[in-house]
């Protein structure tokens, strides 16, 4: 510790005069040091003496304060010793008070697990914060677990959680949108710099989801510069290492007074050096007020003697300076009421890496702390407290009798001076342990593909000791060992999946993953486990498990299959993955095979439990919520109906969803979803027709409502440029394909006709759609339609827009499948006749449009094309498109007589020229009769003109035949 | 003496510092080391107030403390030290500092090349003497490594992976048996290594696969991987440190404005990001974009402005040097630099101003000249 105190930034100032007392000499010593080192005013002296004052105050407090730090084996050891000695009747613990009932379930779990408070229905919080989740992980090697185990398993001892409730955690957060992320009490800047950037065990590290983490005994410098300074001068790489070297080891064997004083001192140091404006400090002070108020309340009600109580809190809070501190502190603080949010509580599995990630600790530090704890226990011969029947840990030998209660508390002595002035009592080298590590790491490395041998074990051993010596340590810490192993074993490349650093972490205990025991699960999760039992799998395993279900041979597995499908629907992707088998309307597999990751997804299954009692209920709720959401649409409701049919056997509920779909459809003002609606209702109708004697009422209502709805919106949809062709096509599809049903249900065909007649689209694709609609209604013959297309192809002004018409025709296939031959014909003509500059740019568009919007229509087109076009290459030459025959215009019934006149007479009189020209051109024309119509009747204007100005005509005639002119 | 050398080795350059450290060093020293491991670390990483020394020791190598510690500890153990990393990460400089601090001699160096033979590692003969006097210890020319063994000091092997595998393997027996036998001689035919002998080798990770180390040799080396410095702050420190040294060496009095240093660091950082996201080799610069390269660019710019400019470093000159140093292939590298200037520097010069517009202009001119 001396490094740390001496290394703080210093400023000079005259010593403040304080009451001479127990810590008087130390205070004076520090003041002297401050005067010597510093050259600025007051601040340093104030900090130095203030720290001693804080220690003094905490120790004088009538209610015994036990300062702890999270993941500190030293805290745990001191706690065990103190509990055995003091045997308190009441333990106050710095933990959300509303989590208390969960603690009794801890014994059913394999630690580490996290206590969770969860709220999905928010009341009084910004809705975008939801769902709210708070987790408090509990590990076995922690002081709080010792306190909890002692209190729960010793008769007559009461455990009281005194910290603010989960609700207050969020109430006290600033209301900026992004504030939730920095809310973690334990960690202001999570994930911190030294947290592993790429976590190798990502799955485990993500066990807490995005919950806000709370931790007992958070103790870490509050601003980055201080931490950096400490790390730099401590010559260590990360905070966990600093803590281990400068606090943990010196305190491991220390007596209780030294422990307590040193911890409060550190808490006070970090508190005094925390940024002043931090909202976080204000929050912490509020918490302290809260805790002291609660403790006073409890003492008042229960009447327990404060000397029989123990207050376990973070060292940071032990050095508190709020007015409410202490049993004699101010009592003004009013605990604010909770919001109306309904909180649910449960245990979720946690893991060391999840804890490290959540609280920004270095990778492996929690595991190393766990290993240190186990070792310290063996060495000290202490028997830790453990909950009766705690899962997943070694059975402790029969609980030793508690030590006799300590004699009347001896007056507190100043242990701090000694602790600060003496170099830390370092452990001697534990050769056995180090040798064990070296041998193990070499073995582990070999198994992971490294070419390591006994020589490496020796080198690692030697290097560890040398490194420790270089870093001022007599005993190599796990961190030194890790560095040594990397130096000696890691070569230029990592042969397997794990590098040596990771292997060291595994060696030190690896990532421990907790599991919530069956008894501690919420009813839903228990129900899931029960119902999956027939599969005969070990659901506790964290590996992926393959389940094979032969549903014909083992019909008793059908309920399992049903449940799996529901879980697949509810849980995140990949948790339950069908490898074989599908569930669609009208389709049931006889055999299924599943990849189940139940163990890995225990948290999500538990969190489902916050939503209901059974998965079916949760599914019902989710579906119901979905269709009643403000943004629900008819297609979403139809999807919900489909899901309900697939996963729930509850016709009444399905009908309810269907009714909602009708309501939604009738209320919709847009037709964006029309394609989806059409697809889904068709499928549902087909399903009902196949499985039930008659359609459910809502289906009929839906068709009726849909018919009326789309008829009404059709004219608008045709002209609105924001509505795509596809939507209009789908509307027409609905109207035409479901028309017979709609008419049978009492709809009026006239409505559709009117709607079509009122439609006046301008966009070419929609015009094409309208033509098809009209032809379907008999308002336009197919021949007319064809003629219009031909006309367009012949008109150079319209040709560029022709592809758009064609798109419209393709979309129309949805509603009028019989149009396929016509579409093929038109398309072929387009390919044949469109100029390249129009055709080529359009082709990609056509293909992508067909792919994305009309995938199901393409087979129809292709089939039709196959029918139309010749099948072999040789047939192509002889092939004439079927439509060309039809396209030849009918011969006029009789040749129209040509008007008589000078020109006609001239030509008839000298046919040789015309015949020769015709022959040259390859026409075998024939001469039409002349004189049928009196000249001038047909071309009155022309003949009038010629009659009035005959000179030109006569001159021409004269030129042609001087005889006539003459 | 330093003045007469273009580049003095570390033990000469820091002789006075080393003497002083030796005089105050009371820590245990392994073998024949001149300094204790902690003092070696202090010499390399510089002193702090908390070390309680009477004088300040400057930092000479910038990088993670644990790399240095691991390197020192390796040399105190039975194994050789192999520093591996990208070109320009300071491997050789660290090796030189270590050798200087530990044995006051960093010049026993074998440079690994494709032409390195076993003779370069062990010994060769002075032919005329052999003809004249026959084979004897006198007519033998010991290699630097053999000299290091005889003196019990650190020998260095630069670019180990550039030499062929059979030559590399000559080191195996040196590192494990710690002696070299000379079968040509009848007596006095073994050179035993004195305590304190060890080898620091460096290898370029870009050369991996050219001449792979045999696993037997790998086993005798501890690998310390030196990463490319990507932390902008330490990189700035390195560049500043080396530049000051360079200026002193060339006896140039010229200021490097901090804004220009920032521009240099920023442009390298940008180019590294671009290189990291490139999909093929054609899309990234051939240069490794190491810190050493930055120093090279800066040196080039400084020399240019000293001798051809008006003795002030300008953004334009810097851009010119940057383009000139980084463009090695045409047209690939040119295209990349062009893209960088237009895609990154141009918007930045518009938004940030400062020296960037001038930098952009200089870059454009340089590219125009080259293409």
Read off the DSSP letter of residue B198.
Answer: E
Q: What is the pLDDT of residue A399?
A: 47
Strands A591-596, A545-550: pairing is: antiparallel
Q: What mean pLDDT is reported for chain B?
A: 87
CA distance B69 to chain A (A): 7
Q: Give percent of chain A above pLDDT 90.
A: 5
Residues A640 and A627: their CA atoms lie apart, in Å, by: 7
Helical axes A454-470 vs B65-76, angle rounded to 10° = 120
For the cut 50, the answer to whether the pLDDT of residue A355 exceeds it is yes
Q: What is the pLDDT of residue A139?
A: 86
Is there a contact between A481 and A460 (Cβ–Cβ < 8 Å)? yes
Q: What is the pLDDT of residue A42?
A: 66
Q: What is the pLDDT of residue B21?
A: 92
Q: What is the pLDDT of residue A125?
A: 83
Kindly tell me the burial class for residue A270, based on how many C-beta atoms sit within 10 Å of its own C-beta (0-12, 13-18, 19 or more): buried
Q: What is the pLDDT of residue A386?
A: 85
Is A492 an interface residue toward B (CB < 8 Å)? yes
Is there a contact between A299 and A327 (Cβ–Cβ < 8 Å)? yes
- Residues with Cβ < 8 Å from A395, sequence gap 6 or more? none
- Residues with Cβ < 8 Å from A582, sequence gap 6 or more? A589
Closest CB to B77 among A232, A462, A492: A462
For the cut 70, the answer to whether the pLDDT of residue A17 exceeds it is no
Is B73 an interface residue toward A (CB < 8 Å)? yes
Q: Which ipTM value was assigned to this complex?
A: 0.82
Chain segment A395-426, per-residue pLDDT in tens? 554 444 444 444 444 556 666 676 666 655 55
**Average of per-residue pLDDT across A463-477:** 83
Q: Do the chains contact at A492 and B213, CB–CB below 8 Å?
A: yes
Task: Give Cα A288 to chain centroid, integer Å.
Answer: 35
Task: Give Cα A578 to chain centroid, integer Å.
Answer: 21
Phi-psi region of B211 (alpha: psi -120 to 50; beta: other; left: phi over 0): beta
Structure token pair of residue A938: 């047909």
Which of A114-128, A213-227, A635-649, A832-846 bottoms out in mean pLDDT, i.e. has the lowest?
Answer: A213-227
CA distance B302 to chain A (A): 34
Please choose, from the candidates A647, A622, A630, the residue with its C-alpha nearest in 3D space to the C-alpha of residue A562.
A647
First to last CA, chain B: 46
Structure token pair of residue A763: 């966009």
Element (H, E) at A903: helix A902-909
Across the strands, what pairs with A64?
A310
Is there a contact between A509 and A482 (Cβ–Cβ < 8 Å)? no
**Average of per-residue pLDDT across A722-740:** 87
Q: What is the pLDDT of residue A15?
A: 38
Which one of A172-181, A367-376, A445-454, A948-957 scores highest in mean pLDDT?
Answer: A445-454
Is there a contact between A751 and A739 (Cβ–Cβ < 8 Å)? no
Give phi and psi for A309, each to the nearest 5: -115, 160
Chain segment B66-94, per-residue pLDDT in tens? 899 999 999 998 899 999 988 888 899 99
Residues B63 and A934: their CA atoms lie apart, in Å, by: 112
Read off the DSSP letter of residue A247.
Answer: I
Closest CB to B73 among A7, A233, A467: A467
Residues B338 and B344: their CA atoms lie apart, in Å, by: 10
Chain A positions touching B206 (Cβ under 8 A) are: none
Chain segment B329-339, per-residue pLDDT in tens? 878 888 888 88
Burial annotation A602-637 (CB, 10 A radius, 16+ → b, else e) = bbbbbbbbbbbebbbebbbebbbebbeeeebbbbbb
Q: Do the chains contact at B223 and A453, CB–CB below 8 Å?
A: no
> Cis peptide leading into A592, omega within 30 of 0?
no
Structure token pair of residue A220: 């870490």
**Average of per-residue pLDDT across A817-823:** 84
**Average of per-residue pLDDT across A449-468:** 89
Is A10 an interface residue toward B (CB < 8 Å)? no
Query: Nearest chain A Cα to B176, which residue?
Result: A455
Planar angle of CA A459, B228, A442, nearest 5 degrees: 20
Read off the DSSP letter of residue A519.
Answer: G
Which of A176-180, A267-271, A816-820, B95-99 bottoms out in mean pLDDT, i.e. has the lowest?
Answer: A176-180
Residues A914 and A912: their CA atoms lie apart, in Å, by: 6
Residues A827 and A786: their CA atoms lie apart, in Å, by: 12
Query: Nearest chain A Cα to B39, which residue?
Result: A470
Q: What mean pLDDT is reported for chain A?
A: 79
First to last CA, chain A: 139
Structure token pair of residue A619: 């599914």
Residue A326 DSSP SS3: coil
- Residues with Cβ < 8 Å from A202, sequence gap 6 or more? none
**Banded pLDDT at A274 (limits 50, 70, 90):** confident
**Average of per-residue pLDDT across A167-183:** 64
Closest CB to A235 among B65, B78, B223: B65
Structure token pair of residue A451: 């070419």
**Average of per-residue pLDDT across A764-788:** 87
Is B41 an interface residue toward A (CB < 8 Å)? yes
- Whether this model's pTM surpasses 0.90: no
pLDDT tens digit at each of 371 positions of chain B: 556 788 889 999 999 999 999 999 888 888 889 999 989 999 998 887 777 788 888 888 888 888 999 999 999 988 999 999 888 888 999 999 999 999 999 999 999 888 889 999 999 999 999 999 888 888 999 999 999 999 999 999 999 988 888 888 889 889 988 999 999 888 888 999 999 999 999 998 877 667 788 888 888 899 998 888 777 777 888 888 778 877 777 777 777 888 888 888 888 888 888 888 877 777 788 887 888 888 888 888 888 888 888 888 888 889 989 988 888 887 888 888 888 888 888 888 888 888 889 999 988 888 888 87
Please count the other Cβ atoms lying within 10 Å of the Cβ belonging to residue B274.
18
Q: Do the chains contact at A484 and B223, CB–CB below 8 Å?
A: no
Residue B257 DSSP SS3: coil
Is B213 an interface residue toward A (CB < 8 Å)? yes
Q: Do the chains contact at B219 and A455, CB–CB below 8 Å?
A: yes
Query: What's the sign of the alpha-carbon dihedral A771, A772, A773, A775?
Result: positive
**Banded pLDDT at A318 (limits 50, 70, 90):** confident
Is A474 an interface residue toward B (CB < 8 Å)? no
Is there a contact between A581 and A558 (Cβ–Cβ < 8 Å)? no
Is there a contact between A92 and A309 (Cβ–Cβ < 8 Å)? yes
The per-residue DSSP string of A155-174 comes to TT-EEEEEEPPHHHHHHTS-
Helical axes A940-948 vs A950-960, angle rounded to 10° = 80
Which of A309-323, A486-500, A656-670, B223-237 bottoms out in mean pLDDT, i.e. has the lowest?
Answer: B223-237
- Residues with Cβ < 8 Å from A20, sequence gap 6 or more? none
> How many residues does the structure list for chain B?
371
Element (H, E) at A5: helix A2-6
Please choose, from the candidates A88, A42, A952, A22, the residue with its C-alpha nearest in 3D space to the C-alpha of residue A31.
A42
Kindly tell me the burial class for residue A473, based on how many C-beta atoms sit within 10 Å of its own C-beta (0-12, 13-18, 19 or more): buried
Please count the other Cβ atoms lying within 10 Å of the Cβ belonging to residue A60.
12
Query: Nearest chain A Cα to B83, which residue?
Result: A492
Q: Do the chains contact at B38 and A470, CB–CB below 8 Å?
A: yes
**Banded pLDDT at A200 (limits 50, 70, 90):** very low
**Banded pLDDT at A195 (limits 50, 70, 90):** very low
Across the strands, what pairs with A68?
A314
**Average of per-residue pLDDT across A204-230:** 70
SS (H, E, C) A56-88: HHHHHCCCEEEEECCCCHHHHHHHHHHHHHHCC
**Average of per-residue pLDDT across A627-651:** 89
**Average of per-residue pLDDT across A821-831:** 85
Q: Do the chains contact at B69 and A470, CB–CB below 8 Å?
A: yes
CA distance B356 to chain A (A): 31
């Amino acid at each position: 510790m001396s490094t740390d105190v001496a290394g703080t930034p210093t400023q000079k100032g005259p010593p403040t005069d304080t009451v001479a007392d127990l810590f008087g000499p130390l205070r004076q010593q520090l003041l002297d040091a401050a005067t010597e080192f510093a050259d600025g005013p007051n601040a340093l002296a104030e900090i130095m003496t203030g720290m001693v004052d804080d220690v003094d105050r905490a120790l004088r407090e009538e209610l015994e304060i036990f300062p702890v730090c999270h993941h500190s084996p030293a805290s745990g050891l001191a706690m065990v010793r103190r509990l055995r000695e003091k045997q308190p009747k009441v333990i106050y613990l710095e933990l959300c008070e509303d989590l208390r009932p969960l603690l009794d379930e801890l014994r059913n779990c394999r630690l580490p697990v996290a206590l969770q408070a969860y709220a999905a229905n928010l009341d009084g919080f910004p809705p975008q914060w939801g769902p709210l989740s708070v987790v408090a992980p509990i590990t076995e090697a922690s002081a709080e677990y010792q306190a909890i185990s002692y209190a729960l398993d010793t008769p007559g001892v009461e455990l009281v959680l005194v910290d603010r409730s989960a609700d207050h955690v969020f109430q006290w957060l600033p209301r900026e949108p992004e504030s939730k992320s920095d809310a973690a009490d334990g960690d202001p800047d999570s994930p911190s710099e030294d947290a592993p950037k790429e976590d190798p065990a990502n799955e485990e590290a993500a066990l807490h989801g995005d919950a806000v983490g709370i931790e007992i005994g958070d103790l870490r410098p509050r601003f980055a510069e201080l931490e950096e300074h400490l790390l730099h001068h401590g010559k260590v790489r990360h905070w966990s290492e600093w803590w281990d070297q400068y606090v943990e080891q010196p305190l491991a064997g220390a007596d209780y007074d030294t422990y307590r004083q040193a911890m409060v001192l550190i808490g006070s140091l970090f508190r005094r050096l925390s940024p002043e404006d931090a909202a976080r400090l204000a929050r912490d002070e509020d918490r302290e007020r809260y805790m002291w108020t609660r403790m006073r309340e409890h003492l008042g009600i229960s009447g327990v003697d404060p000397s029989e109580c123990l207050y376990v809190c973070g060292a940071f809070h032990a050095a508190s300076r709020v007015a409410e501190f202490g049993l004699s502190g101010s009592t003004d603080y009013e605990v604010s009421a909770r919001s109306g949010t309904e909180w649910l509580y449960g245990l979720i599995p946690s893991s060391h890496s999840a804890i490290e990630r959540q609280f920004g600790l270095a990778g492996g530090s929690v595991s190393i702390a766990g290993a240190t704890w186990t070792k310290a226990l063996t060495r000290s011969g202490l028997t830790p407290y453990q909950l009766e029947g705690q899962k997943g840990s070694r059975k402790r030998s029969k609980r030793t009798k508690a030590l006799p209660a300590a004699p009347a508390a001896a007056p507190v002595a100043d242990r701090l001076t000694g602790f600060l002035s003496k170099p830390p009592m370092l452990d001697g080298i534990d050769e056995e342990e180090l040798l064990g590590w070296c041998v193990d790491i070499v073995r582990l490395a070999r198994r992971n593909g490294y070419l390591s041998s006994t020589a490496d074990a020796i080198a690692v051993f030697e290097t560890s000791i040398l490194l420790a010596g270089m870093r001022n340590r007599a005993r190599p810490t796990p961190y030194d060992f890790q560095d040594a192993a990397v130096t000696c074993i890691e070569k230029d490349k990592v042969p397997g999946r794990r590098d040596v650093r990771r292997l060291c972490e595994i060696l030190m205990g690896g990532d421990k993953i907790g599991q919530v025991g069956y008894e501690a699960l919420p009813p839903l999760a228990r129900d899931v486990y029960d119902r999956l039992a027939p599969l005969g799998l070990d659901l506790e395993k964290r590996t992926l498990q393959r389940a094979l279900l032969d549903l014909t041979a083992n019909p008793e597995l059908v309920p399992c299959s049903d449940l799996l499908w529901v879980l697949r629907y509810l849980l995140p992707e990949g948790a339950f993955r069908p490898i074989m088998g599908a569930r669609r309307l009208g389709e049931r597999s006889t055999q299924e095979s599943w990849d189940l990751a139940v163990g890995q997804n225990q948290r999500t299954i538990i969190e489902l439990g916050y939503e209901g009692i059974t998965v079916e209920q949760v599914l019902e709720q989710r579906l119901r919520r979905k269709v009643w959401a403000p943004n629900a649409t008819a297609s979403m409701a139809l999807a919900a109906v489909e899901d309900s049919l697939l996963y729930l056997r509850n016709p009444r509920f399905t009908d309810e969803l269907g009714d909602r779909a009708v309501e939604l459809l009738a209320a919709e003002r847009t037709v964006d979803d029309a394609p989806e609606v059409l697809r889904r209702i068709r499928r549902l109708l087909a399903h009902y027709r196949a499985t039930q004697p008659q359609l459910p009422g809502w289906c009929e209502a839906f068709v009726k409502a849909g018919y009326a709805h789309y008829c009404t919106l059709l004219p608008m949809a045709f002209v609105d440029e924001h509505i795509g062709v596809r939507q209009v096509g789908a509307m027409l599809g609905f109207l035409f394909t479901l028309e017979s049903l709609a008419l049978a249900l009492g709809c009026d065909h006239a409505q559709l006709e009117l709607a079509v007649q009122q439609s006046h689209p301008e966009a070419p694709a929609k015009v094409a759609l309208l033509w098809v609609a009209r032809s379907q209604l008999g308002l336009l013959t197919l021949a007319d339609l064809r003629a219009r297309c031909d006309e367009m192809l012949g008109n150079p002004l319209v040709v560029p827009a022709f592809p758009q018409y064609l798109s419209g025709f393709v979309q129309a296939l949805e509603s009028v499948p019989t149009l396929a031959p016509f579409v093929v014909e038109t398309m072929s003509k387009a390919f044949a006749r469109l100029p390249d500059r129009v055709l080529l740019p359009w082709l990609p568009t056509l293909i992508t449009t067909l792919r994305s919007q009309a995938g199901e229509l393409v087979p129809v087109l292709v089939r039709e094309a196959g029918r139309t076009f010749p099948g072999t290459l040789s047939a192509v030459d002889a092939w004439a498109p079927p439509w060309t025959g039809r396209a030849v215009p009918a011969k006029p019934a009789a040749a129209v007589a040509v008007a008589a006149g000078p020109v006609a007479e001239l030509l008839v009189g000298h046919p040789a020229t015309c015949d020769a020209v015709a022959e040259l051109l390859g026409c075998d024309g024939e001469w039409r009769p002349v004189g049928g119509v009196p000249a001038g009747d047909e071309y009155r204007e022309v003949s009038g003109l010629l009659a009035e100005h005959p000179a030109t005509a006569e001159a021409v005639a004269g030129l042609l035949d001087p005889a006539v002119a003459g | 003496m330093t003045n007469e050398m273009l580049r003095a080795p570390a033990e000469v350059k820091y002789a006075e510092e080393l003497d002083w450290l030796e005089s105050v060093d009371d820590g245990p020293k392994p073998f024949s080391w001149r300094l204790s491991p902690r003092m070696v670390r202090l010499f390399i990483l510089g002193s702090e107030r908390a070390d309680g020394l009477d004088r300040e020791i400057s930092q000479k190598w910038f990088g993670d403390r644990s790399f240095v510690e691991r390197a020192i500890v390796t040399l105190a153990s039975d194994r050789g030290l192999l520093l591996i990393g990208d070109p320009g990460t300071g491997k050789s400089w660290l090796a030189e500092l270590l050798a200087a601090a530990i044995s006051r001699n960093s010049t026993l160096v074998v440079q690994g090349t494709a032409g390195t033979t076993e003779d370069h590692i062990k010994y060769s003969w002075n032919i005329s003497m052999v003809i004249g006097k026959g084979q004897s210890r006198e007519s033998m020319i010991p290699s630097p490594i053999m000299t290091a063994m005889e003196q019990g000091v650190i020998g260095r092997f630069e670019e180990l992976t550039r030499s062929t595998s059979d030559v590399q393997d000559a080191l195996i027996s040196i590192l494990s048996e710690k002696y070299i036998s000379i079968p040509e001689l009848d007596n006095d035919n073994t050179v035993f290594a004195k305590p304190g002998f060890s080898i620091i080798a460096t290898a370029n990770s870009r050369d991996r696969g050219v001449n792979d180390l045999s696993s037997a040799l790998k086993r005798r080396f501890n690998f310390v991987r030196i990463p490319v410095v990507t932390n902008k702050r330490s990189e700035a420190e390195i560049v500043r440190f080396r530049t000051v040294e360079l200026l002193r060496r060339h006896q140039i009095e010229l200021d490097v404005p901090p804004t220009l240093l920032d521009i240099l660091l920023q442009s390298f950082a940008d180019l590294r990001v671009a290189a990291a996201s490139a999909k093929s080799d054609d899309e990234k610069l051939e240069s490794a974009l190491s810190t050493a390269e930055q120093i090279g660019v800066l040196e080039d710019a400084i020399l240019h402005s000293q001798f051809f400019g008006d003795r002030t470093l300008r953004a334009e000159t810097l851009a010119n040097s940057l383009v000139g140093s980084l463009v090695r292939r045409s047209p690939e590298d040119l295209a990349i630099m062009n893209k960088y200037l237009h895609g990154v520097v141009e918007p930045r010069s518009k938004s940030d101003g400062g020296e960037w517009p001038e930098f952009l202009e200089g870059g454009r001119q340089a590219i125009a000249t080259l293409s």
